[in-house]
Amino acid sequence: MNYFSSNFKLGILGGGQLGKMLLNETRKFDIYTCVLDPSEEAPCKVGSNEFYIGDLMDYDAVFNFGKQVDVLTIEIENVNVNALEDLEQQGIKVYPSAKTLRTIQNKATQKLFYVDHNLPTAPFSRFAYTVEIKDSIANGGLEFPFVWKSAQFGYDGMGVKIVKQLSDLDNLPNVECITEILVPFKNELSVIVSRTPSGEIKTYPVVEMEFHPEANQVEYVICPARISENVAKKATDVALKAAQAFNHVGLLAVEMFQTENDDIIINEVAPRPHNSGHQTIEASFTSQFEQHLRAVLDLPLGNTANKLNGIMVNLVGAEGHTGDVVYKNIESIMAMDGVTPHIYGKKQTRPFRKMGHVTIVNEDITEARKIAENVKNNIQVITE
């Protein structure tokens, strides 16, 4: 198949920042792209060859869009899986597969998948509705503290809550959900695995994620993680085993906990480019976005090694600011050594909305972390 400067069409479901960064790579290779997104203001609108507006959960919108392309991929999991299954029946290549997406879209089925495939994960209980949890507590089936997770449509701190007392349940939506035992852990780690339809498979170095204590969003992604070789190997092995269990094609970001006694357990997975891989654009020989393209098109996978240590800082909307965005002090961070900002193209900011990220590369990881903190303390995502 000739993908380059040809009639080949790559379809992307979702037009957000992940799609925008993927389009940088398709433009580099002159691959023709079609994007579907519900928003007129989607970041991908500028970079795609064809841009369509439609609801990603609507069967007809997804099916009719998918019929026009040769290979269909995603930059967001919440898409109509029935449409994808029918497109696969018609011979359209869909990566990741509809089967994988159906499993991953629902946190309860995702957790059951780990149990069935002997992949390490925190013990959990499954509930049809949140209100059922109180009965379980009353009957001694569940003890505080635990983590509540909405089974569907949760992301970036939405749909996840640590429940320490009964009243913490009061404002939660009454939806299908799971509860997990709160596992004491030292580190949150992530490994991005890339895999082609032919079965070639590669992993990126393990990254470590530092979280914002209130927003439950990643503040820093540090690559390589500051962990022992033994722990890094364990994490990589678990990630590889997960990708192979899913028979995954494309990128799979496997988020994990390193427990107090250095066991590795899977928190959750994302079957697409991921926040924990943004530093690869500057720090790696092959960015995660180029690698995703190579994987779904069954091209040889690129070198995943780091050229330099990399740290990524998320740029999120400041509290108390909703409206037209201003990036205050962006010039001062650009004056720092090894600092590259990425602005996603969202014109409107609101508290904790992901608006961009900044990568810091340096030969010394400690120095990179200092600069990252400096970046974090200087730049502000605000309104006029």
Binding residue numbers: 107, 149, 180-183, 188, 267-268
- Contact between 147 and 141 under an 8 Å Cβ cutoff? The reply is no
Distances (CA, A) of 131 to 145, 152, 177, 277, 324: 17, 16, 10, 37, 39
Q: Is 160 exposed, middle or buried (0-12, 13-18, 19+ CB in 10 A)?
A: middle
| Mode of pairing for the β-strands spanning 93-94 and 71-74 | parallel
Q: Cα–Cα distance between 84 and 130 in angstroms, integer?
A: 30
Residue whose tokens read 């690869």: 280
- Residue 309: enclosing H or E segment and its boundaries? strand 309-316
- Contact between 32 and 49 under an 8 Å Cβ cutoff? The reply is yes
Indicate the annotated binding residues for ATP. 107, 149, 180-183, 188, 267-268
Residue whose tokens read 């092959």: 286
End-to-end CA distance of the chain: 50
Which residues face 51 on adjacent strands? Answer: 35
Distances (CA, A) of 238 to 103, 180, 228, 273, 326: 18, 20, 16, 18, 41
